[in-house]
Every structure is written in C-alpha cells, then in structure tokens.
Amino acid sequence: MRDLLVFAFTMFLLPGSFRQPFVGLLLFSWLAYMRPQDLCWGFARTMRLSFFVGIAMIGGWFAYEKGRVAYAQWDVRTKSMLMLTMLIAVSYGFADVHDEYTNRYFAEYLKIIAVALFTTGQVNTRERFRTMLWTIALCLAFFGVKGGVLGVLGGGHQILRGPGGMMEDNNDFALALVMNVPLLWYLGIGEQRRIVLRATQVAVLLTVITIVLTHSRGAFLALSVSALWIAWRSGHVVRAGAVLVAIGLIFPLVAPKEVLDRLGTIGDTQETSASSRLEAWATALRMVEDNPVLGVGMRNFVPSVPKYSLTAIDPRATTHVAHNSYLQVWAESGTPAFLVYMLLLGSVFVLCSRVYRIGRTRPDLAWAANYARMMEATTVGFMVGAFFLNRGHFDLIYHWLALVTSLGGVAYAAYRQAPGLVPDQPNVAHRSVTVRWRPASMLAGATHAEGGAVLSRPAIRWSRRR
C-alpha cells in the first residue's frame, strides 16, 4: 500500500514538475530528505523516482523557462561549486582506481552539483525561499520527531541507522538533524502564529533527543556548538546562556547511562574509535603530502590506505575512511580543491553578515536578518560535525550553499524595491538601532555588487555614536 501511495503521488506530480520546475524541485527535495521510498517494502523502494523527477524538472526548464528564468544565479558560491567540480573531475581522471563504486559516486556528485545550481535559479523569490526551507525542515523533522517520540516511549534505545540514502549511517543521519535544529528554530521565530512557534520548539526538543540517541559524539559536539552560536547571535546572551546552563545540568539526570558512557569517551584518545580516527587523519595527511595537487582521486581513499597507513591493514577491508570531511576533500582531490571547498563554506558568513545588516537597518526586511542567522547557525553545525565525519560531499550542504546564494539574491532584490528611500548609516547605542532616511538619489554611484544584484554601500556600514 505504501508503495502504491508513494508511486502514485510522484507520478501525479510529474507532469506538474515538467510544467512548473519549482514544483519538481520541491518534489525532488521531498524524495531526497524524507525518503518516503525507504519507508516502503516493495517495488517503490528500489525505483529511481528522484531520477525521473530530476529529468522532468530540468526538461521543463528547457521547454518553458529557458530565456526567462536563469538555470543558476552566478556568485562566489556557485562559481566556486563549478570550479570545485572541475578540480574534482580532473583529480578523478588521474586517479588509479576507476571501478563501478567510484564511478557511481562521481556521477552522484555531479547530480548533486547540477541540482544545487538549479536551485539557485528556481528559488528566486521570498515566497519560494520560504517554501523550500519549510519543505526541507518538515522532511527532516519527520524523522527527528518520530525518533524522539519512540526514544522516549522506548526508554532511550540507541538508533543504529538512519532512513537511507545520504542519511543511512547513524552519524550522517545525526548530522542532518543537527543542521535541521537551527532551521526549525528560526523558521518558528519568523512565523507570526504562536502555534507554529510552539510546534517548532517541540520538534526541536524531540529532534535533539533523536540526535542524542544516535550515540554520535561528533553530532553531539556539533549540536552543542550550534546551540552556543544561536545563543551568542540571539542578542540575549545572558538569558540564552542561563537556559543552556540549565539544560546542561538537567541532561546528566535524564540521559540514558549508555549515552553518558558514550559521550564520556569524547576526550579519550586511547578509545578504539578515537584512536582509529587519529590514525585515519595521519594517513590522510600522508596522502596530501605525496599528492598535494591532484590528491588520490574521489573515493580512492580506501584503496590508497594500505599504501599510506603505518599500521597493518586488511586488504579486504572497506571501512577505512578519513573520518574528517576536510581531510577527505584534501586527500582525495588535492590542495586547490580543498581551498575552494573552504572558500565555499567561508563565503556563507560573509554574505549572511551583509544580509543581516540590511535586515537590521530596514524594518521591512527583518525577515532577511532572521534567515541570515539561520543560514549561519546551520552551516556552523555542519562544519563542526564534518570535522569528525566523512561527509565532504554531503548532499544537504551543497543544497544549503545554493540556498545561501538564493537568500542573497532575494534579500538584495527586496532592498532595491524600496519606495525611493534607502537607509542611512544606523546609529547604534547598546542594543538599539535608530535608522535615519534620506533620498536614494543622494547615494548615486555608491554601489556594491553581490550575486548580480546592486546594493547601496551605506546599507552595509555601521557607525557607533555614544
């Protein structure tokens, strides 16, 4: 029955995905993040539904929107994605191993980039941006809430695996949920209805329980840093800090003993898992030293381990990975790719800072400031979690980078629609912001380009007056 429902729903929306590619993008995201096909037990479980939807939405763009809607918005992130893809392709071309596994993974990576670029072109209005965020948030919240409820009712049993796809491993599953916590939190704050705010707060609580029950230490650290980041950016550091301290005091009293024992090994370098990570990092660095420009090739880390590891390795083993996304990209694709990858992540904070300043100086753009804080916190969660996991090419982070580009385009477009007025430099005293206005004509010639949009410079400058 589930197979029929998922198949029928997808086929029903397939013509609409062709006629309106944004509908196809939402459907594609639903299949990618909620993984309804993995909840089935029959024919739908192995069908390539995402492939059919992807063909429909991109084909629809060629048929109906080419010439009117750009395939992608081009800014520092999308250009860096394209550059990273070319570097990885060159590196992979010179790799020693090209088998079914590595070829499939490389093809999957190309699909991820194609969809990410397509997202920047389709998510070109505030409403579309909000709709896409809610789609991702609700899909991931489905598993966060479900796992939390079952965990409470079941006495805190460990979650051994995720739903499937990019989230099949419990560590990867936990990382996706960590990224969803800020998403739910800020979406709830941004809505006007109190019932939505309360619902998202409950979803955050249950998602946190699910993350803890995965026993993923990397995800727990990422969650902790994300919470501290949100508290720091909240503008109410003392109150938010007090809440976090209270949670920290209560946590050891309510958490299962197995969870506490697992988290207690975080700083133990003699523990088996921790020591294997240290050895994997050392092995990755030796690969970088020997292949600084091109690396060993995408997904060639495992077959290269026997050559670079200083410990005895079973040649039949397939579980030796970098255990660090940054070292994974560096060792597999080389130093140029690693630098571009870091540029991609760092550019999030540059753009979000600019968007936040716009939102703070324009009351009608307060939503942009809220979204900017959301994108920052979610990226922080990934960056911390990625330090302990082999998810350099996580589907969700590329989609997220694309949405950061969309946020910049949407925010700057809304800024330009001001009725003949733009904000002057704000006077900042303590936590209050006073905004003075003057005619836009007085600012002629002072512009800043970001993502093809034009922004008056005074909107991103701050001055303090005592």
Higher pLDDT, residue 235 or 114? 114
Residue-wise pLDDT tens digits, 376-421:
999 999 999 999 888 889 999 999 999 999 999 999 999 988 644 4
Residues 366 and 317 occupy one common structural domain? yes
Task: Look up the pTM and report it.
Answer: 0.85
Residues 232 and 364 occupy one common structural domain? no
Contacts of 208 (CB under 8 A, 6+ apart): 148, 181, 223
Residues 435 and 291 occupy one common structural domain? yes
How many domains does one find in the chain? 3
Give the angle subtended at the CA of 338 by the CAs of 334 and 342, to the nearest 5°: 175
Three-state SS annotation for 303-340: HHHHHHCCCCCCCCCCCCCCCCHHHHHHHHHCHHHHHH
Residues 147 and 238 occupy one common structural domain? yes
Mean pLDDT on 87-101: 93
Residues 82 and 63 occupy one common structural domain? no
Residues 153 and 32 occupy one common structural domain? no
- Domain end call among 204, 239, 266: 266
Residue-wise pLDDT tens digits, 31-82:
999 999 888 888 888 888 999 999 999 999 999 999 899 999 999 999 999 9
Contacts of 84 (CB under 8 A, 6+ apart): 337, 340, 341, 344
Residues 314 and 165 occupy one common structural domain? no
Q: Which two tokens stand for residue 342?
A: 């870091």
Would you state the pLDDT for residue 439? 38
Residues 210 and 245 occupy one common structural domain? yes
Q: Determine the structural domain holding residue 238 and report its residue range.
A: 125-266
Q: How far apart are CA 395 and CA 165, in angstroms?
A: 10
Point out the least confidently predicted range of 21-30, 184-193, 449-458. 449-458
Residues 192 and 296 occupy one common structural domain? no
Q: Which two tokens stand for residue 3?
A: 């197979």
Whether residue 422 is predicted with pLDDT greater than 50 in this model: the reply is: no
Residues 116 and 139 occupy one common structural domain? no
Helix (H) or strand (E) holding 456: strand 453-456
Would you state the pLDDT for residue 423? 42
- What's the mean per-residue pLDDT of the chain? 85
Residues 324 and 368 occupy one common structural domain? yes
- Concatenating the DSSP letter of every residue in 272-293 gives HHHHHHHHHHHHHHHHHHHSTT
Whether residue 444 is predicted with pLDDT greater than 90 in this model: the reply is: no
Confidence of residue 259 (pLDDT cuts 50, 70, 90): confident
- Domain end call among 249, 266, 283: 266
Q: Which one-letter amino acid corresponds to residue 75?
A: D
Higher pLDDT, residue 451 or 136? 136
